[in-house]
Structure 1
Amino acid sequence: MHQLPETALLRSFVTVAQELSFRRAADRLALDQSALSRRIQKLEAELGYPLFERTTREVALTPAGQDFYRSVSRILLDCSRSIDEARRVALGHTGRIRVGYMAFAATDLMPRTVARFRDRYPGITLELRFMRTQMQKIAIANDEIDVGFLIGPYDNRDCHSLTLALDPLHVVTPQRHRLLHQPTVQPADIANEPLILGNMAEWGEYRFRLEDQFGRLGISLEPALEASTTLALIGLVASGLGITVYPESLIGFLGRNVEARPIIHPDLHSRTVLVWKRSNRARAVLNFIETARNRGPA
């Protein structure tokens, strides 16, 4: 198999084949005519057959030259397209980003970031995957997703972490609950009520953060009931079976059958972070992170 000739020789050949004139081809290539002739001669020597029939009056392609021209034109066109496509990838204008998100990011943070990003980079394909926080950590480590919206904080030497939201916690109660009549709700008030929390299988990370924060205040969270979904959780609260604790940013999505009040304490909050691998330097991913960092109207 012959080695592929230099690209400069191929482009010179294509230009001469299109012009069928060494003078006009040399002008297009900004070359001296003798230099162009040497290029064609070198190419013919490498191939082992003539590409042009030359006379004092005209230049014509040989049958082999005609076939070679058709093939080389396709090769150069494909090469040019590949260069342009790679340039778009390098600039972050095309490609794919796999985005993981958990329930607390599903209603606002993730959709708003995606809306802004799609507006700025319409050529990027986004794959959105609902995953619990712990599963996202595993998926990022295994390169199964590029970025993840998860419950933080998250400290891992292989990953970057960007805090997107620090939501105060609210107590969610049935309508006309006694806590609604208090001037404020304090952390200790939670300990005196039957508590309904998400179960550990589906809500493990959030439960861990809640128990840690309340535990630092000397308050033990012992649920009277557990549920696996938000709908079940809020349904149990609305039925008067107890209260629950939710991040502020989600209060507006709980419906009209429950009420919410802030729990007054500076150390009680839910943190949402964006996480990605330090080794992931794809421009499209970095653009997504920058879009999430600079939050604003979609």
Structure 2
Amino acid sequence: MSFDLRHLRAFSAVAEELHFGKAAESLHMAQPALTRLIQQLEADVGVVLLDRTTRRVALTEAGKTFLAEIQLAQVHIEQAVTRARHVANGMRGELRIAYTDFAINGRLPQFLNAFANRHPDIRMNLVFMPTTVQQMALLEQKIDIGFMIGSFEHETMDSYQFDEDRYVALLPVAHPLCGEDRLTLAHLANENFVLGNGENWTAFRNRLFALCRARNFFPRIVQEASSSEGIFGLVVAGAGVTVYSSCVSNLQRKGVAIRTLEDVGATLPVTAVWERRNRSPGFQTFRNFLMAVWGQRHQAQDATSIA
């Protein structure tokens, strides 16, 4: 077929006006040029679409069917143009987002909900990944952004500190240390520990071990779990104590006592990391929302809480 959008617009105008002169005027073109476009269209389609005499213009049955179909096509074309523009402007698209347990139990759900409300046409595909796996996935461009523990120092990466929590102790509610007025990490030196396993919790374990070494002990690990829920379950069962992020206060878990560690001034940062060369319009919209809208909102909230 050799006809194009010019022919379809011309036919639609004539079908609406049922008058070549008026249709030509609406299209801002000369009537002979409009007539040629209709003749070319009919020749290419191979049927008569308009029944025209010196007195009237009418659609043939074939013309009525053709008009209905091209109207659908025009709607699809307009949608395609709109969607392409939205993608180019960062209003539509798809993002691959990785998170850790600490991120998803902290402010991340609130942030993602706020972004989704502002940009409903950008789809977010969320996947759990440990910090070290996120770093490899970013290098291999398998994800657009990762919310991980700590920073990722690499020449191709940019980052933004998204959240920051304190270290807390999790104890069975009947544990004797629950009665301590000022619980410290040193108090846990002789306790049995339950921790996340080395496969999924490497980044956190390395930080915790460094804190323990500074207090001249190494955790006596008696049980390991792959997830936060597994860790909580082991604590409730009395298998041991653990150290976790203060984001745990966002969760409801019966049987677990949460205690601040008074001797640990270090914090546990959750950092958003992305590949610097990622020029996807949808990702740029996400990054700008993260650093400008979300960042300013929580800076203001933090300042208010301090005041």
- In the superposition, the TM-score normalised over structure 1's length comes to 0.76
CA contact (8 A) 1:97 1:285 kept: yes
CA contact (8 A) 1:100 1:149 kept: yes
SS in structure 1 at match of 2:114: helix
Counterpart of 2:33?
38
- Shift of the alpha carbon at 1:91? 4.3
Counterpart of 1:84?
82
SS in structure 2 at match of 1:201: coil
- In the superposition, the TM-score normalised over structure 2's length comes to 0.74
Q: How does 1:126-141 map to 2 (within 5 A)?
A: 126-141=124-139
Check 1:239–1:263 CA distance in 2 against 1; reply closer, same or farther (3 A cut): farther
Q: How does 1:35-184 map to 2 (within 5 A)?
A: 35-41=30-36, 44-45=39-40, 48=43, 55-60=53-58, 69=67, 72-174=70-172, 175-178=174-177, 180-181=179-180, 183=182
Distance in 1, matches of 2:276 and 2:283, equals: 11
- Shift of the alpha carbon at 1:52? 5.3
Tell whether 2:223 aligns with 1:226.
Answer: yes
Distance in 1, matches of 2:49 and 2:192, equals: 89
Distance in 1, matches of 2:182 and 2:69, equals: 82
Distance in 2, matches of 1:151 and 1:235, equals: 23
Aligned-residue CA RMSD in angstroms?
3.6
Counterpart of 1:264?
263
> Which of 227, 242, 245 is matched with 1:244 structurally?
242
Segments of structure 1 that go 5 or more residues without pairing to the other structure are none
Question: Residue type matched to 1:121 in 2?
Answer: H
Distance in 1, matches of 2:178 and 2:96, equals: 43
Question: Residue type matched to 1:264 in 2?
Answer: D
Distance in 1, matches of 2:155 and 2:66, equals: 55
Distance in 1, matches of 2:101 and 2:13, equals: 59
Distance in 2, matches of 1:255 and 1:53, equals: 80
Question: Residue type matched to 2:105 in 1?
Answer: T
- Shift of the alpha carbon at 1:274? 2.1
Q: How does 1:3-22 map to 2 (within 5 A)?
A: 3-5=2-4, 7-22=5-20
SS in structure 1 at match of 2:218: coil
Segments of structure 2 that go 5 or more residues without pairing to the other structure are 299-307
Question: Residue type matched to 1:86 in 2?
Answer: A
CA contact (8 A) 2:165 2:269 kept: yes
Give me the identity figure in percent. 27
Question: Residue type matched to 2:150 in 1?
Answer: G
